Structure 1
Amino acid sequence: MKISTKGRYGLTIMIELAKHTGEGPVSLKTIATEKNLSEHYLEQLVPPLRNACLVKSVRGAYGGYMLAKDAKEITAGDIIRILEGPITPVEGMEDEEPAKQALWIRIRDAVKNVLDTTTLDDLSNYDEDDLLEQEPYMFYI
């Protein structure tokens, strides 16, 4: 499964809104400027997030967007599914031979587990030192 810029930038929008919770609405222009992204492209990503009741818009001179739910209630999986569609590592899994199908299902389930157990709160409060404390992967050949 490959996450496109839709999913990546959608996560960026949502993480930035979570970081600014309690500070009022955040404009897409602010996010685009801070993250060096296209404001026009971000504008295309917000409607599906708003339709899914994950963000709400505030009109006016000091308007922008805010989370519609608590950051602890929104998972990375929610955002990715809204913007990217179903989580599946390969198309036509059901047509594969049983051994390969079992592999694809295990991969899908592992990815779903990570996305569905990682909240927006986790992502917005991420500490880079956490990565340094993790044990590195060891590959053997």
Structure 2
Amino acid sequence: MIVTTKGKNALKFMVDLSMYQGDKYVRLKDVAQREDISEKYLEHIVSNLQRAQKVISARGVNGGYRLAKKPQEYTVGEILKCIENDLSSSNCIGGTSNDCERKAQCVCYPLWIKLDTAINGVLEHTTLQDLIDWNGQI
């Protein structure tokens, strides 16, 4: 599985909101500066997260973005799924290739299934709060 730059930046955005929102909205411009991401590029990422109802926006002087839930209620997997087309570890099992015609003869197919299960397990059991707590520890 390859997490794209867009996926990594979505996680950075969500972690940044977690750390800086407090009881107010966070401006996109501020996140872009702190995370060294183009504001225009971040707008595309945020629109996906908004559509998936992961963030709430407000317009105006005190406007910006906030998380729709608490950081411990978001998994890395659910955030990446808003951004990435496919989280499979191999093109043999992901997306439209899920019905691989050679899987019955393929000696590696069980490996790809196990690898995919392990990766998805980590993604679905790691929260934004975990990422914040691990910051600087690994």
Specify the TM-score bucket, using the shorter chain as the normaliser.
0.7 to 0.9
Instruction: Indicate the residue corresponding to 1:32 in structure 2.
Output: 32
The size of the alignment, in residue pairs, is 130
The structural deviation recorded for 1:98 is 4.0
Q: What is the rounded CA distance, in whole Å, between the counterparts of 1:35 and 1:22 in structure 2?
A: 18
Q: What is the rounded CA distance, in whole Å, between the counterparts of 1:24 and 1:108 in structure 2?
A: 38
Instruction: Indicate the residue corresponding to 2:96 in structure 1.
Output: none
TM-score, with structure 2 as normaliser: 0.87
Deviations 1:70-126 (A, max 9, x none): 111100000111100332112233423343110101111111011111101111232
Contact 2:92/2:109 (<8 A) preserved: no
Instruction: Indicate the residue corresponding to 1:67 in structure 2.
Output: 67
Matched, 1:108 2:116: yes
| Residue ranges of structure 1 left out of the alignment (5+ in a row) | 132-141
Instruction: Indicate the residue corresponding to 1:46 in structure 2.
Output: 46
Matched, 1:121 2:129: yes
TM-score, with structure 1 as normaliser: 0.85
Let me know the Cα RMSD of the aligned residues. 1.4
Deviations 1:49-71 (A, max 9, x none): 11111100011112110000111
Identical positions, percent:
35
| Residue ranges of structure 2 left out of the alignment (5+ in a row) | 94-98
